[in-house]
Amino acid sequence: GQQVQQSPSSLVLQEGENAELQCNFSSTATQLQWFYQSPGGSLVSLLSNPSGTKHTGRLTSTTVTKERRSSLHISSSQTTDSGTYLCAIDTNTGKLTFGDGTVLTVKP
The footprint of other proteins (CB under 8 A) covers 4, 6, 31, 33, 35, 41-45, 48, 86, 88, 90, 94-101
Query: Residue 65, SS3?
Result: coil
Please identify, using beta-carbon distances, which residue of 45 and 75 lies nearer to other proteins.
45
In angstroms, give the least distance from the CB of 7 to other proteins: 13
Cα–Cα dist 66/86, whole Å:
21
In angstroms, give the least distance from the CB of 4 to other proteins: 7
Q: Which residues pair with 43 in a beta bridge?
A: 37
Q: Which residues pair with 56 in a beta bridge?
A: 59
